[in-house]
Structure 1
Amino acid sequence: MGKHLVIVGAGHAHLTVLKNLKKFKEAGHRVTVVSSSPMHYYSGMGPGMLSGIYRPEEIRFNVKKMSEDRSTAFVEDYVVKIRPQEKKIDLHSGNEISYDVLSLNTGSYVPAMEPLLVDKSIYTVKPIENLLVARGRITEDLKNKDLRITVVGGGPTGVEVAGNLERLAKNESGRCRITLVAGARLLSEFKSSVRKHALKSLTSRHIQVIEGARVTAVKDHTAELSNGDVLENDYVFLAVGVKPSPLFIDSGLPTGQDGGMLVNKFLQSVAYPELFGGGDCISFEPRPLPKVGVYAVRQNPILLHNLLSALNGGALQEFVPQETFLLALNMGDGTAVVRWHSLVWGGTLGFTLKNYIDRKFMKAFQV
Structure 2
Amino acid sequence: MKNLVLVGGGHANLSIIKKQKKESHRDKNFTLISPDPYQYYSGMFSGFAEGIYSLNDIRIDLQSFCNAHGVTFVCDTAERIESEKKQLILSNNEPLAYDALSVNAGSYVQDPVPGVSEHALSLKPNFLFPEVVDQLRYSEKPVIVGGGAAAVELAFSLTAWRDKNVPGNKGISLVTRGKF
TM above 0.5: yes
Distance 1:11 1:171 in 2: 33
**Aligned partners of 2:82 and 2:97: how far apart in 1?**
9
Deviation of 1:21 after TM superposition, in Å, equals 3.5
State how far apart, in whole Å, the 2-side matches of 1:180 and 1:59 are: 24
- Counterpart of 2:21 in structure 1 is 22
CA contact (8 A) 2:9 2:39 kept: yes
Amino acid in the other structure paired with 1:182:
T
Match of 2:126 in 1: 128
1:167 aligns with 2:163: no
Matched, 1:185 2:169: no
Q: Which amino acid aligns with 1:63?
A: L
Asked whether the 8 Å contact 2:39–2:127 carries over to 1, the reply is no
3-state SS in 2 of match to 1:10: coil
User: By percentage of residues, which structure has more helix?
Assistant: 2
- Using the alignment, how far apart are the partners of 1:21 and 1:44 within structure 2? 25
Task: String of CA shifts for 1:115-155, please: whole Å, max 9, x gaps.
Answer: 23323x6211223343321333455x47xxxx211111111
Q: Does 1:155 align with 2:148?
A: yes
SS of match in other structure, 1:5: strand
Which residue type is aligned with residue 179 of structure 2? Answer: R
Q: Does 1:53 align with 2:52?
A: yes
Structure 1, unaligned runs of 5 or more:
187-367
The Cα shift of 1:23 comes to 4.8
- Larger RCO (CA under 8 A, 6+ residues apart): 2
Shift of 1:62: 1.5
Q: 1:98 to 1:24 in 2, by over 3 A?
A: farther
Structure of higher CA gyration radius: 1
Change (3 A) 1:129 1:22: closer
Q: What residue identity is the alignment partner of 2:171?
A: R
Deviation at 1:11, TM superposition (A): 0.5
Judge conservation of contact 1:123–1:130 (CA < 8 Å) in 2: no
Q: How far, CA to CA, are the matches of 1:151 and 1:136 in structure 2?
A: 14
Any residues of structure 2 matched to 1:286-305 within 5 Å, and which?
Answer: none
The alpha carbon displacement at 1:70 in A equals 2.4
Number of residue equivalences: 179
Equivalent residues of 2:86, 2:98 under 8 A apart: yes
The letter for the 2-side match of 1:58 is D
Provide the secondary structure at the position in 1 that maps to 2:47: helix
Give the Å deviation of 1:110: 2.2
Q: Is 2:123–2:132's contact at 8 Å kept on the other side of the alignment?
A: no
Contact 1:38 1:64 in 2 (8 A): yes
For 1:158 and 1:5, the matched residues in 2 are separated by: 36
The letter of the residue matching 2:178 is A
**Aligned-partner Cα distance in 1 for 2:166–2:22:** 51
Partner of 2:158: helix, strand, or coil? Answer: helix
| Fraction of identical pairs, as percent | 31
Q: Aligned-residue CA RMSD in angstroms?
A: 2.0
The CA distance in 2 between the partners of 1:117 and 1:58, in whole Å, is 31
Q: Over residues 296-336 of structure 1, what are the superposed CA-to-partner deviations in whole Å (9 max), with x where a residue is unaligned?
A: xxxxxxxxxxxxxxxxxxxxxxxxxxxxxxxxxxxxxxxxx
**Number of the residue aligned with 2:117:** 118
AA matched with 1:167: A
- Counterpart of 2:126, as a letter, is I
What residue identity is the alignment partner of 1:180? L
Letter in 2 for 1:130: L
Q: 1:151·1:162 contact (CA, 8 Å) conserved in 2?
A: yes
Matched, 1:78 2:72: no
Distance 1:129 1:3 in 2: 30
Which whole-Å CA distance do the structure 2 matches of 1:82 and 1:40 have between them?
Answer: 22
In the TM superposition, residue 26 of structure 1 has moved relative to its aligned partner by 3.4
Distance 2:80 2:23 in 1: 25
